[in-house]
């Protein structure tokens, strides 16, 4: 698209449509189109990586090439991804700045518009801001650094903290877990590495913002969070991209490790434009008495496939997935959860609410696994779908495999519609049809929205209102 | 000033339900409509409110002289028409306070925000009059409400939205006598020379507490008899049988 002008390219930019703008590209490093061994070597070279990482990438590339698309169970829309029409690495250099003053002006303006520096000042303990393939900015509050908290990009993590990083890297989600985890492992760039020392409880959230600016591009961030014994951390991620004519690929791998008694909350608010294929693998490993919660809000994208999981490896570990998905016209949210019970007295909870608007389609896929030799495991799964229009669609595929008789599981699912009667009632009180619809949708997800930190729940409600505009009439 | 219904014909799925109904409710008066089941009483209130299940084939509804045929449901509400429902809908996840606030906000000019402190103060005062628990504000609209709570909620909304014309559809159904008294007190507190009421009911009972200025008997989609408050009493004694001979 290489725009010749030096101004911001705004595609039908409106004041509320915060994510839909882009700047002309000026990348120093561009791996070019398509994915070969050379691409992998190019990335390793730009990032000046140790040999073991380069080997890891090459192995992953082979795995990626050997694995078929999972269209035996997933949508055939995956076949529309043209891997040769994507650029796998675009950056101005691999080293993030520690001060916003040093960030290039157009990148700074991008994150300013998205409100990132403002949020950092207001309530965050640390921020990483990724622009295409690399973080432009990464910083953590000094007080936390003094306590031994590490919050750096993944590239920095694997080089500078290899002794902590390497034992867990690729262990929660092996390269060959699925085709897209293999793809990520081959071309990963950006993402966060976080280490919280034993007993340290980080009060304020750490945040990463993933921004795609370029067309025909794939973003493959890789995140590893390790919370050592008894520590606590909340990590937030936000994502946006401009609306391009062509497909954009976002394929992340996120691994969480909660050691004994640690707590990790991982919160996502994604608002991808409707050309993005968002194929993400997220899983956490919870040791004894540890707790991992995924709080996930998926708005936008052409196709999202994401099933955050928790492997409860230690006794009394807890896993939770709370997810909200909104599928508008031309969008398919294929989301869910995986709960793998691997120790006695482990507890998991899945609450999923999806909203299908217009011709949008939402799919819930859940997997709960409790093997026969365990006892005292509990799972609760609730999935509720709300259909806004008569042509909206939802599907539910729960798979609960519970062996043995010493466990408690319950599963509830519902599909509802915003009834004409409800709309008439609200309108009779003077509320416009669009506002009434928006109110009904916010009511549907209200109990889940309250799980998000206040700053994000406000944003979330606003995003949903925007999505609901034009859905009626 | 009046809510005027002229020769109204309306149908649903091809069945004519209103067959040339005429009624004038001047501001300052309380009119009651009584009539047997299926006479079209509830339909009338929904049509005035603008429900799009019904097709108006003839006649018109005038709000202070202005034909409201082209106004959408929410526009009619903001123009001053309030319908207290017989069966109010539930709105899961939306608190009563937020719902009322959204309804009041919809009446403000663009860019203006409701003063939250004044809003809560006003709402609490009205809730006290209606003997409603404060906890009610954070409960979802009508969800899990008893019949009496739903009706009180309708009256609370009516008071808060300060409409020009109030339509009460079978407000007494499902109420015990104590709740009925409270609800009637709320309605009576709103009576003023600037406001008109249409009270639709199946029973005389409600009219013991909300004294109507005029009573109309509705049957088969028309007003068949009009009179003063005594008409309702007469009907209570002799039933609707007289309609057959009248």
Residue ranges of A 444-463 with Cβ closer than 8 A to chain B:
444-447
> Number of helices (H) and strands (E), helices first, in chain B?
9, 12
Residue-by-residue pLDDT tens, chain B, 246 positions:
999 999 999 999 889 999 999 999 999 999 999 988 888 888 999 999 999 999 999 999 999 999 999 999 999 999 999 999 999 999 999 999 999 999 999 999 988 999 999 999 999 999 999 999 999 999 999 999 998 899 999 999 999 999 999 999 998 888 888 889 988 998 999 999 999 999 999 878 889 999 999 999 999 899 999 999 888 888 877 777 766 654
The pair phi, psi for residue A386, each rounded to 5°, is -120, 125
Q: Is A16 on the interface with B (CB under 8 A)?
A: no
Q: Which residues of B27-54 are buried (b: 16+ CB within 10 A; e: fewer)?
A: bebbbbbbbeeebbbbbbbbbbbbbeeb
The model's pLDDT over A130-169, given as tens digits with 9 standing for 90+, comes to 989 998 898 888 889 999 999 999 999 999 999 999 999 9
Superfamily of segment(s) B2-93+165-185+192-245: P-loop containing nucleotide triphosphate hydrolases (3.40.50.300)
Supply A426's token pair. 């609200």
CA dihedral in degrees (A184, A185, A189, A192; nearest 10)?
Answer: 100
- CB–CB of A329/A453 below 8 Å? no
Q: Quick: pLDDT tens for B163-220.
A: 999 999 998 888 888 889 988 998 999 999 999 999 999 878 889 999 999 999 999 8
Please write the tens of the pLDDT for every residue from A189-243: 999 999 999 999 999 999 999 989 888 999 999 999 999 999 999 999 988 888 8
Q: B89 and A424 in contact by Cβ < 8 A?
A: yes
Three-class secondary structure of residue B115 per DSSP = coil
Q: Measured between CB atoms, does A443 come within 8 Å of chain B?
A: yes
Measured between CA atoms, the residue of chain B closest to residue A423 is B89
Mean pLDDT of chain A: 90
DSSP collapsed to 3 states, B147-185: HHHHHHHHHHHHHHHCCCEEEEECCCCCCCHHHHHHHHH
| Contact residues, chain B, for A446 at CB < 8 Å | 93-94
Nearest beta carbon to residue A430 from set B91, B98, B103:
B103
Indicate whether this complex's ipTM tops 0.90. Answer: yes
Cα–Cα distance list, A46 to A160, B88, B168 (Å)? 16, 65, 74
3-state DSSP of A332-355: EEEEEEEEEECCCCCEEEEEEEEE
Query: What was the pLDDT predicted at A373?
Result: 92
Dihedral sign computed on CA atoms, order A427, A429, A434, A440: negative
What residues in A contact B83, CB-CB < 8 Å?
A: 428
Going from N- to C-terminal start, the domains of chain A cover 29-468
In this complex, do B106 and A431 lie within 8 Å of one another by their Cβ atoms? yes
């Amino acid at each position: 698209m290489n725009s010749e002008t030096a101004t911001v390219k705004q595609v039908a930019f409106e004041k509320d449509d915060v994510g839909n703008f882009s700047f002309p590209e000026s990348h120093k490093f561009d791996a070019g189109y398509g994915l070969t061994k050379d691409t992998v070597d190019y990335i390793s070279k730009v990032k000046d990586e140790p040999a073991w990482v380069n080997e890891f990438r090459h192995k992953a590339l082979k795995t990626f090439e050997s694995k078929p698309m999972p269209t035996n169970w997933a949508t055939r829309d995956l076949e529309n991804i043209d891997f040769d029409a994507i650029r796998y690495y675009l950056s101005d250099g691999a080293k993030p700045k520690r001060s916003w003053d040093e960030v290039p002006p157009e990148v700074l303006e991008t994150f300013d518009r998205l409100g990132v520096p403002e949020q950092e000042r207001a309530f965050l303990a640390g921020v990483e801001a990724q622009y295409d393939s690399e973080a432009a900015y990464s910083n953590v509050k000094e007080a936390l650094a003094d306590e031994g908290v590490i919050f750096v990009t993944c590239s920095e993590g694997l080089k500078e903290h290899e002794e902590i990083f390497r034992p867990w890297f690729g262990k929660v989600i092996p390269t060959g877990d699925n085709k897209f985890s293999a793809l990520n492992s081959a071309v990963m760039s950006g993402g966060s590495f976080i280490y919280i020392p034993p007993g340290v409880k980080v009060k304020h959230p750490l945040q990463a913002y993933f921004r795609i600016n370029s067309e025909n591009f794939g973003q493959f961030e890789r995140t590893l969070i390790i919370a050592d014994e008894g520590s606590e951390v909340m990590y937030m991620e936000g994502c946006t991209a401009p609306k391009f004519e062509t497909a954009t690929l976002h394929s992340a791998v996120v691994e969480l490790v909660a050691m004994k008694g640690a707590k990790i909350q991982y919160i996502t608010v994604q608002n991808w434009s409707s050309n993005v294929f968002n194929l993400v693998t997220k899983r956490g490993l919870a040791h004894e008495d540890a707790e991992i919660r995924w709080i996930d809000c998926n708005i936008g994208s052409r196709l999202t496939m994401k099933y955050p999981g928790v492997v409860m490896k230690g006794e009394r570990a807890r896993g939770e997935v709370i997810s909200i998905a909104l599928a508008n016209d031309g969008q398919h949210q294929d989301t869910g959860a995986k709960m793998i019970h691997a120790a006695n007295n482990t507890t998991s909870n899945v609450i999923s609410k999806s909203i299908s608007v217009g011709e949008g389609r939402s799919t819930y896929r859940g997997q709960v696994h409790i093997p026969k030799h365990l006892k005292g495991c509990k799972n609760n799964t609730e999935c509720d779908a709300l259909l806004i229009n008569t042509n909206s669609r939802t599907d539910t595929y729960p798979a609960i495999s519970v062996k043995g008789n010493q466990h408690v599981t319950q599963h509830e699912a519902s599909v509802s519609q915003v009834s004409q009667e409800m709309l008439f009632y609200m309108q009779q009180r003077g509320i416009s049809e669009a506002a009434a619809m928006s109110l009904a949708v916010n009511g549907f997800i209200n109990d889940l929205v309250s799980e998000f930190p206040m700053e994000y729940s406000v944003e979330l409600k606003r995003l949903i209102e925007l999505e609901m505009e034009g859905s009626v009439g | 000033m009046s809510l005027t219904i002229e020769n109204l014909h309306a149908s649903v799925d091809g069945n004519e339900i209103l067959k040339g109904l005429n009624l004038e409710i001047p501001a300052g008066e309380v009119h009651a409509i009584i009539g047997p089941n299926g006479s079209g009483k509830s339909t009338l209130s929904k049509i005035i409110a603008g429900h799009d299940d019904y097709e108006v084939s003839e006649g018109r509804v005038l709000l202070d002289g202005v034909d409201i045929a082209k106004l959408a449901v929410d526009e009619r509400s903001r123009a001053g028409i309030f319908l207290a429902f017989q069966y109010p809908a539930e709105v899961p996840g939306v608190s009563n306070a937020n719902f009322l606030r959204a309804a009041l906000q919809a009446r403000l000019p663009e860019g203006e925000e409701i003063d939250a402190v004044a809003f809560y103060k006003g709402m609490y005062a009205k809730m006290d009059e209606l003997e409603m628990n404060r906890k009610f504000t954070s409960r979802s609209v009508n969800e899990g409400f008893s019949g009496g709570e739903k009706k009180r909620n309708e009256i609370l909304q009516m008071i808060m939205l300060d409409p020009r014309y109030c339509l009460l559809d079978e407000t007494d159904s499902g109420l015990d006598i104590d709740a009925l008294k409270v609800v009637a007190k709320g309605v009576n507190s709103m009576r003023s020379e600037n406001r008109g009421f249409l009270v639709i009911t199946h029973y005389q009972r409600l009219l013991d507490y909300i004294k109507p200025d005029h009573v109309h008997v509705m049957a088969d989609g028309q007003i068949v008899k009009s009179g003063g408050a005594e008409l309702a009493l007469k009907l209570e004694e002799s039933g609707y049988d007289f309609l057959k001979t009248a």
